[in-house]
Amino acid sequence: MPVIKLETGPVSHEKKLELLKALPEAASRVTGIPVSEFRTFINEYDTDCIGVGDIPLSEHLKK
């Protein structure tokens, strides 16, 4: 059971659906393992929980 993990900032529901389709398809193409064998986990973080240098991403995006 191969696992794909993506850690990201906020992503819309529609983009998550795209990722859940595209990531296993790409990994399957490269590895030859069937798409149905992959498990994909998307860990989504609020922009206040991501640091860019010494400031939260939420502040960095305001610049």
Expressed as residue numbers, the domain containing 41 is 3-60
Place of tokens 């798409």: 35
Nearest to 45, CA basis, from 8, 11, 3: 8
pLDDT truncated to tens, each residue of the chain (63 aa)?
Answer: 999 999 999 999 999 999 999 999 999 999 999 999 999 999 999 999 999 999 999 999 998
pLDDT of residue 37: 98
Counted domains in the chain:
1
The CATH number that applies at residue 27 is 3.30.429.10
